[in-house]
Amino acid sequence: MKRTAHRNRSILSALARRTAAAAAALVALAVPALGAQATIRTDHITAEVTLADTAVAPGDSVEIAIRQIVEDGWHTYWENPGDSGAPTLFGWTLPDGAEPGEIRWPTPELMPYPPLLNYGYSGEITYLTSITVPSGWTAGEPLPVSLEIDWLVCSDICIPESGTTAFEIPTAAASEADSSVAFTFLKARRALPETVDWPASLSGSADDLRLVVEAEGIAPDSVSDAYFFPLDPDLIDHSSRQSFAVEEGDLVLTLRPQGATEPGMVRGVLALTDASGKRTGYRLAVDGPASAIPAPAATAPPASASGPGSTVGSAGNPGVASLGGGSALAIPAEATPGLWRAILFALLGGLILNLMPCVFPVLALKAVAFAGHGHEPVRSRIAQGGAYTAGILVSFLVLAGGLIALKAGGAAVGWGFQLQQPIVVAILAYVLVLVGLNLSGLYEIGLGMTRAGGLVHGSSGTAGSFFTGVLAAVVATPCTAPFMAVAIGYALTQGAALTLAVFAALGLGLALPFLVVSLMPAVGRLLPRPGVWMVRFRQILAFPLYATAAWLVWVLAQQAGVDAMFAVLVGCVLLGFAAWAIGLRQGGLARGRWAAGLAALVGLAGAVALLSPSLATEPPVVSMAASNDGTGLNADGSLPFSPDRLAALRAEGKPVFLNVTAAWCITCKVNERVAFRQDFREALARDGVTFMTADWTRRDPAITSYLERYGRAGVPLYLVFPRGDGGARVLPQILTEAMLVDALNDAASG
């Protein structure tokens, strides 16, 4: 009875705390951040530093809020980032005697990227910490502080960013709170996980971990969702689904371990969502299992292994879990879509692509084309709809074929991955500028008022519709849409036939709206008559294309620097000059047609010539130093990379498998789950191959040099050095376990 009463009081207390938190949050949302002492701005994040006190007495501590505002569509990472990513790092420069406090992290969010699962933040995040002023500091003299923050911010791509700021902490004989920022700090404290003393224990086997939390006041219907975020990145398989139940007042979560778990204390954050949807985090210290959980069978190297290549480690390390198979660490079936779900996702993704800013101008252009032909016979409209669909399908199948060929040849593959290549970004920007100039009326390529669908001079009907479909597919490549990542991620791990099927479904989804419209006879009666409005509307459509081209030039600046961006901008000016000259020539000038043609050729040639220096420009160097010190073993049991160590192994004639990877590289992490599995590790031990990892999570000049040596601008890079003194074999960037095992066998045989 006493326990029930105690729990009821706990529930009432919790409700009171949550009501107060909700009220405080509403007020905080209505009040802008005040009293910011310093600001760091990068391309995707703004960070503001705020002090809780207007003055601090020597020997006292001041609470500090570091508020990050993340651009929409981007995210950063928690202390344990999950399957990929990197946590935000804070570096302080303080006078002697001043001490920084620990960083207090808000409760993280789930960041799914099937088959991976990350932990992080989006929107607005506020970290809390403190700085203690030295007791011998002179009151009235400001305390100088310098703060450097490094973070990895991700969307479809990941970009390491950093910034440094300096500010002063005012001091006085007595500390004085700043009431103007009270709500800022109250809101930040409410976002932190509460520290509780709930008894919790962890037990289980190689297949399942059972986390039991004796949380006060939990009823079977009081929790709608629960998730445990461990601080130890090697404890659980993040991608596996966590299930929970309330049993006799205790919360029980079932987790999937990564591998052997050592006895001791396990720390983390338990996020609970109540029936109303309110989410609260609780910081837990969990008693570890009484004995180590046995590792899944056959994940450790055989006892007969010897030499550096035998140091493999357990399956509890990152990147060892697989996408399938019979191991206890296999990701559940729902993480991989299967062929029919992948096709459905691709179809839905293609439909949504029609609403993306890259594609919408071409979509509207096709609408103008249908308006121009809407009163023609139904057979003609059906033919145009079919030609438009054919143009998209042919383009997507060509793209899929190219990706298959690149995958087989070891090049980087993936939807949108081509945008990481500056030459592709520059060419796409040029194409969009040229099409925009055409729509603006500067010159014509067969897009007259009554031939709005044609892209080849003199073509209007099916030929024009076909090439409009090609253009729609081309401008769709910088865009992504929901469902696409899962579908294409699945397709690129399958055979050629399945890859082509998924890409065909994606193209069909993109073409489907106009294909359906062309098959509906009643649509023709609803379309407006052709007229001058079509010319004006076409001119308006040029501006979204210019905006997309501007975005592509900005992407190029991130990849190759401002010099490359300037070169492409000058190239766009030359394209405008060439288009103007073409327009003069098309205007029917009796004299000077040859001069106009020559001027157009000069402009086009100059724009093309500027592509080369744009690629040669060195990309910006981020201020992140390498963490590899060349000693010990990595978490996955591999040797840390260093040129000298690799050279020594090669001098001894030992076979080596080198994995050049990064925590923020999605392709790398998928490969590690798909290919770095049981057979791969058994092959390492059986064949005596040394497993070496070069971690490029933070830029390392030695690794960068090694990538350049093999003609690569980024990760992943997989090299297999054979026994003896032979040269390295470069493996494809999309791996299978069988491919990897075959390569290791070949390397062992010399």
Given a cut of 70, whether residue 203 has pLDDT beyond it is: yes
**Higher pLDDT, residue 112 or 480:** 112
Given a cut of 90, whether residue 98 has pLDDT beyond it is: yes
Mean pLDDT, residues 254-281 taken together: 79
pLDDT band at 146 (very low <50, low <70, confident <90, very high): very high
Lowest mean pLDDT among 255-269, 525-539, 558-572, 669-683: 525-539
Share of the chain above pLDDT 70, in %: 66
CB atoms within 10 A of CB 702: 16
Given a cut of 90, whether residue 137 has pLDDT beyond it is: yes
Given a cut of 60, whether residue 269 has pLDDT beyond it is: yes
The DSSP secondary structure of 568-629, one letter per residue, reads: HHHHHHHHHHHHHHHHHHHTT-SSSHHHHHHHHHHHHHHHHHTHHHHHHSPPPPPS------
Q: Could you tell me the domains of the chain?
A: 25-190 (2.60.40.1250), 195-287 (2.60.40), 338-616 (no CATH), 639-749 (3.40.30.10)
Full strand arrangement of the beta sheet holding 124-132: 36-41, 45-51, 61-70, 124-132, 99-100
Cβ proximity of 527 and 518 under 8 Å:
no
**482-537 residue pLDDT tens:** 455 456 656 655 667 777 888 888 888 888 877 777 777 565 556 556 556 667 77
Given a cut of 90, whether residue 60 has pLDDT beyond it is: yes
The type of residue at 562 is V
pLDDT band at 136 (very low <50, low <70, confident <90, very high): very high
Please give the pLDDT value at position 477: 62
Please give the pLDDT value at position 609: 87
Cβ proximity of 733 and 711 under 8 Å:
no
Total residue length of the chain: 750
Q: Is 485 exposed, middle or buried (0-12, 13-18, 19+ CB in 10 A)?
A: buried
Please give the pLDDT value at position 559: 59
Given a cut of 60, whether residue 73 has pLDDT beyond it is: yes
**Higher pLDDT, residue 412 or 427:** 427
**Higher pLDDT, residue 662 or 687:** 687
C-alpha distances in angstroms, 274 versus 110, 249, 359? 17, 15, 41
Please give the pLDDT value at position 334: 36
C-alpha distances in angstroms, 429 versus 413, 443, 475? 21, 18, 10
pLDDT band at 309 (very low <50, low <70, confident <90, very high): very low
**572-588 residue pLDDT tens:** 999 999 888 888 877 76
pLDDT band at 145 (very low <50, low <70, confident <90, very high): very high
| Best CA proximity match to 573, nearest among 551, 596, 549 | 549
When mean pLDDT is compared over 99-113, 313-327, 503-517, 638-652, the highest value belongs to 99-113
**591-645 residue pLDDT tens:** 667 888 888 888 888 888 888 654 544 444 333 333 344 446 776 778 888 887 8
| Best CA proximity match to 149, nearest among 60, 84, 82, 68 | 68
Please give the pLDDT value at position 88: 93
- Residue 53 dihedral angles phi and psi, to the nearest 5°: -120, 145
Q: Is 349 exposed, middle or buried (0-12, 13-18, 19+ CB in 10 A)?
A: buried
> 0.75 cut: is pTM over it?
no
**Higher pLDDT, residue 429 or 55:** 55
Average pLDDT, rounded, for the chain: 73
pLDDT band at 399 (very low <50, low <70, confident <90, very high): confident
Given a cut of 90, whether residue 75 has pLDDT beyond it is: yes
Mean pLDDT, residues 450-456 taken together: 37
Which residues fall within 8 angstroms of residue 555, CB to CB, at 6 or more apart?
419, 425
Helices and strands (H and E) in the chain: how many: 20, 26
Mean pLDDT, residues 346-370 taken together: 67
Give the CA angle between residues 58, 63, 69 to the nearest 5°. Answer: 145
CB atoms within 10 A of CB 26: 11
Distance CA 314, CA 198 (A): 32
Please give the pLDDT value at position 692: 93
**Higher pLDDT, residue 646 or 261:** 646
3-state class (DSSP) for residue 525? helix
**Higher pLDDT, residue 587 or 656:** 656
**Higher pLDDT, residue 548 or 54:** 54
Mean pLDDT, residues 125-149 taken together: 94
Please give the pLDDT value at position 712: 58
Distance CA 211, CA 224 (A): 17
Please give the pLDDT value at position 8: 43
**717-740 residue pLDDT tens:** 889 999 887 778 888 767 888 889
**Higher pLDDT, residue 562 or 195:** 195
Lowest mean pLDDT among 75-89, 104-118, 263-277: 263-277
When mean pLDDT is compared over 13-17, 143-147, 352-356, 466-470, the highest value belongs to 143-147
pLDDT band at 164 (very low <50, low <70, confident <90, very high): very high
**Higher pLDDT, residue 686 or 438:** 686
pLDDT band at 458 (very low <50, low <70, confident <90, very high): very low
Mean pLDDT, residues 401-415 taken together: 56
